[in-house]
Amino acid sequence: MTEDYTTGIEERLTCMAVVEDGPRIGFAAFLEESNTIVLDDSPADGYDTQTLIERVLALIQPNLLLLSTKIISNTNLLEVLTTPQSTIVEDARHDEDEVNVRLSRRSPTTPYKIMKSSCYEKKRCRATILQMQVNSIMNRRQRGHSHEDSDRRFPTNNEHGHIASFQVSNYHALASLVDFDSTVQVQALGCLLSFLETKCFGNQGGIVVVDDIVHCEASHYMAMSPDTLAALNIFAIEHHPLAASNGYGNAKEGQSLYAFLNRTKSKPGRQRLREIMLKPLLDVDAITMRQDGVEFFLQDDTQKVVPTLIHQLRNVGAVDKILNRIHKCCSQSNDILVFTKTLAASIAIISALQNEVLLKLEYQLEQMSRPNAEVEWAIDPMSKRYYDFVQNLLQRCHVDILEDLLDLISSMIDEETTSTTGTVAIRSGYSAELDQWKVQYDSLRDTLSVYSDQMKQGWPRLRSLMVLFMPQVGFLIGLENDGSWNNSLPEDFQFVFTEVGCSYFRNQDTRHLDEAIGDLDSQIKDTEALIVSELEEHIFTCDKELRSTFNALAELDCILAFAACAADQKYVRPILLPSEENCIIIQNGRHPLQEILIDDTFVPNDAYINSDHRVNIVTGPNFSGKSCYARQIGIITYMAHIGCFVPCDNAQISIVDHIYARFSGTETCAVPQSSFQLDLTQMGTILRRASPNSLVIIDEFGKGEFDEGHALLFYPKIHSNDSSTGTSPASGVALLASALGHLAERGCKVVCTTHFLELFSMGLIPEADHGFRALRMTVHLPENDKEQATPLFRLEVGVASSSAGIVCAEMAGVKPAVIDRAREFVQATREKRKVSPLAEILRVQMGLTKEACALLSQFVDNDPDEMTDDEIEEFVTNCRLHLRNKRLESY
């Protein structure tokens, strides 16, 4: 089956589709040996794209690539993809099972197949994905069927027209495995399935049947889904409704952590900050190095050089875009000006770091290492770290190349003329020949005037004669078409062409001018273009060094922004621990966005998650700050992984490979799922992919479901078979308890906020066992109508006594009549009795008279099984009399 795509040796197929779209790259691979699909979707913008691709190739080891024409046209990317990689001994994990993705390589280069552009159309890819079968998410009855029977479970378009409903049902199951919001992931998987339908599963009607879909997690960065980024307010991109609907227009950043931390001064700095925040680090040493830089720029001795660095960073332009335009031969005159200004600013920054920072650190280290008469001074470890940070930064900067380029451009380009004319102007003195041509061109008008006067003296009848120059044509003699020179032209005048009102000729003198002077305008422009081209070619040879330098300066811009935020908000340096420590300890933590909105009134809280308290369940009323506390832990953990200081008094955080933030979603017509189904999909993704090193944040799971617990409030006659409680536990509570138990067994770090007090009252979750810990947000509840509930926003150990729903309603301004009616419902539910409807409500809503309301109330308040025959007959008679009176009134 694979002989057409390999080196001719029969082997199990491992094909991989690759899709690149803007800042993200997606992979989808099929491992025939294990009948498994492996997915990966990672940010790929920046300098480490090649490293990411090489790691994915080393993990999956494909023997066939499925590529688009866009990737084929990118020679650098194509070379990386088709070059064999050394095998990495690493397994892809899913649930409790493991799938090995390490295979041997046999061919010197990886063969590839170019797929049609239609295979990448998102709508088609989505439909193709919804037709596949994944055995790991099928129920037991379906798992018992063989692959050959799969056509009975997958209806076609002709089978009762149920294909749409089937796809919706399959969407619910696949949404926990495939991110349908990721364009690159959907396109890569859709392209892969289109290939497999005909090449591997053609004998099964084109239905792709695999055992499981796993994620290889090839990136060296913490994995965070777009939902998690949105839930934690890391980014908040706001589109104008009209622009977004038409697919154009620029978006702006709303209130987000990125907007708060973005104190960068340069365009590369802003871009690098976004890359840093999209790629939280997992390497303790790399995070520590970044923290050393932030702490270094907070020192008093360093504050003198910070204003110089900030001032020069403002002059650093988007050099990456300029270099890309140079590569495509479409650079503009302004690019040279921006590039020159950037070079000068970069040299000034590097000079300040070398002369005012590095030399001082070297002197300090030298003084510390000198032996004293009595004691030998030890080198301050922090000074050594600061020195290593600055030294590492400067090693990435190639100042010699910058200075050579700046000298070359300064001697070559006339910046003032270039900025005035809008075209690149070569400085006088760079090319003697070009300068001579420019002098001749500037004096060309006088030269033409002299030749015109000489010709008029020789031919006085040609009064309108003038000698002129036309670019691309040459020197000509022009005569007005007034009839004065008809039949009286000199013999050596050669007609060239006629325009309205004027005719043009050549003679021996104009030919001499063409030979002596030529087309000066074209010569000047061509020569200047050639000089500029040589300059761009010289810049192109320094591309690698330039990008390394400007990446380092962009990171310096981000470090300074982190330091400014830490100084203003009094953030502290967290201690990063290896993942084996498995702990998140935060003392007096604060939400970085919430605290700036409420000034100094924010109430900090601690977080203590370790092996003994892996799952923290927080209860309390809606307004008590539970969700803010949960987000606070997620954001502080995230900030620590990007090397930023954090808002707390002290923090010890072990490395987290994933952050999953499950907050209540919003229904949309674009997704065929209800709000509760979205909750289930997010929970399913967490349960399948969370590892012992993951942080899981769950907020109010299951509160959108209408189940038996909700029905009991409105239909009191619904009773449970459980005589001990009188009510059956809601399915939402059961699912949450089961999910928390599963996460606790796996060893995940979990923060869960919930209103389901039944988790503890019914004993579904032990309070102090198996890693569970119950916490509550304290609230002062009123004892009488004159008092008001007061949230204290202080976390304490224990379970909340009530969700205080009616108190929340009072604070929200709900009408007193509705509040009183709600209290009747609560009291009736506690007493296990039915609730009678209000006669006044019935009369107003149904337009009934008081007599009719009395009859209806009598019918509702009495059980027919408990009424005597006389009571029933009396009730029926009264109803008939009422109906007869209504008829008489209508006549």
State the architecture of 434-539 in CATH terms.
Orthogonal Bundle (1.10)
Specify the pLDDT at position 187: 93
pLDDT tier for residue 604 given thresholds of 50, 70 and 90: very high
CA angle 219, 694, 659 (to 5 degrees): 70
Specify the pLDDT at position 162: 43
Comparison of pLDDT for 650 and 176, the residue scoring more: 650
pLDDT tier for residue 44 given thresholds of 50, 70 and 90: low
Asked if 501 contacts 483 with a C-beta cutoff of 8 angstroms, the reply is no
pLDDT tier for residue 703 given thresholds of 50, 70 and 90: low
Specify the pLDDT at position 11: 67
Comparison of pLDDT for 826 and 754, the residue scoring more: 754
Specify the pLDDT at position 160: 41
CA angle 822, 825, 829 (to 5 degrees): 145
Whether the pLDDT of residue 727 is over 70: the answer is no
What is the rounded distance in angstroms from the CA atom of residue 391 to the CA atom of residue 195?
Answer: 51
Closest CA to 389 of 283, 316, 271, 288: 288
Specify the pLDDT at position 18: 92
Specify the pLDDT at position 3: 39
pLDDT tier for residue 708 given thresholds of 50, 70 and 90: very low
SS3 587: strand
Whether the pLDDT of residue 25 is over 90: the answer is no
Mean of pLDDT values over 750-765: 86
Helices (H), 542-577: 543-569
**Exposure b/e, 546-576, CB count within 10 A at least 16 = b:** bebbbbbbbbbbbbbbbbbbbeeeebebbbb
Specify the pLDDT at position 342: 95
Least confident of 466-470, 483-487, 684-688, 842-846: 842-846
Question: Under 8 Å CB-to-CB from 639, ≥6 apart: which residues?
Answer: 257, 574, 592, 645, 646
pLDDT tier for residue 167 given thresholds of 50, 70 and 90: low
Specify the pLDDT at position 588: 95
Q: Which residues are registered as beta bridge partners of 112?
A: 65
Specify the pLDDT at position 315: 95
Least confident of 206-215, 371-380, 666-675, 803-812: 371-380
- pLDDT over 70 percentage in the chain: 79
Comparison of pLDDT for 291 and 493, the residue scoring more: 291
What is the DSSP code (8-state) at residue 689? H
Comparison of pLDDT for 50 and 320, the residue scoring more: 320
Specify the pLDDT at position 313: 96
pLDDT tier for residue 371 given thresholds of 50, 70 and 90: low
Whether the pLDDT of residue 257 is over 80: the answer is yes
Comparing 14-215 with 281-418+542-568, is the CATH topology the same?
Answer: no
Question: Under 8 Å CB-to-CB from 881, ≥6 apart: which residues?
Answer: none
Asked if 602 contacts 666 with a C-beta cutoff of 8 angstroms, the reply is no
Comparison of pLDDT for 46 and 743, the residue scoring more: 743
Least confident of 190-194, 688-692, 705-709: 705-709
Task: Calculate the average pLDDT of the chain.
Answer: 79
DSSP 146-213: -GGGGGGTS--TTSTT-HHHHHHHHHHHHTTTS-TT-HHHHHHHHHHHHHHHHHTSGGGTT--EESEE
| Number of Cβ atoms within 10 Å of the Cβ of 711 | 14
Specify the pLDDT at position 836: 63
Specify the pLDDT at position 788: 62
Mean of pLDDT values over 591-615: 88
Structural domain spans, the chain: 14-215, 281-418+542-568, 434-539, 575-802, 804-835, 837-890
Whether the pLDDT of residue 379 is over 70: the answer is no
Here the tokens at position 602 are 């924010």
Q: For the chain, how many helices (H) and strands (E)?
A: 35, 26
Q: How is the beta sheet containing 584-589 ordered, strand by strand?
A: 575-577, 650-654, 584-589, 605-609
pLDDT in tens, 515-534: 777 777 778 888 888 999 99
Topology adopted by domain 14-215 = Nucleotidyltransferase; domain 5 (3.30.420)
- pLDDT over 90 percentage in the chain: 28
What is the DSSP code (8-state) at residue 728? P
What is the rounded distance in angstroms from the CA atom of residue 465 to the CA atom of residue 115?
Answer: 68
pLDDT tier for residue 180 given thresholds of 50, 70 and 90: confident
Whether the pLDDT of residue 140 is over 50: the answer is no
pLDDT in tens, 222-234: 888 888 888 899 9
| Predicted TM-score (pTM) of this structure | 0.77
Asked if 646 contacts 572 with a C-beta cutoff of 8 angstroms, the reply is yes
Topology adopted by domain 281-418+542-568 = MutS, DNA mismatch repair protein; Chain A, domain 3 (1.10.1420)
What is the rounded distance in angstroms from the CA atom of residue 149 to the CA atom of residue 204?
Answer: 8
Comparison of pLDDT for 344 and 80, the residue scoring more: 344
Specify the pLDDT at position 92: 41
Mean of pLDDT values over 754-782: 79
| Domain 575-802 part of CATH 3.30.70.560 | no
Whether the pLDDT of residue 401 is over 90: the answer is yes
- Indicate the pairing of strand 112-114 with strand 790-797: unpaired
pLDDT tier for residue 586 given thresholds of 50, 70 and 90: very high
Whether the pLDDT of residue 157 is over 50: the answer is no
Whether the pLDDT of residue 669 is over 70: the answer is no
Specify the pLDDT at position 55: 82
Specify the pLDDT at position 847: 61
Whether the pLDDT of residue 245 is over 70: the answer is no
Specify the pLDDT at position 154: 37
What is the DSSP code (8-state) at residue 729? P
Specify the pLDDT at position 389: 94
Comparison of pLDDT for 251 and 162, the residue scoring more: 251
Asked if 818 contacts 809 with a C-beta cutoff of 8 angstroms, the reply is yes
DSSP 75-143: HHHHHHHHS-------EEEETTEEEE------SSS--EEEPPGGGG-HHHHHHHHHT-EEGGGS-HHHH
Specify the pLDDT at position 169: 60
Whether the pLDDT of residue 571 is over 60: the answer is yes
706, with CB counted inside 10 A (0-12, 13-18, 19+), is exposed
Specify the pLDDT at position 174: 85
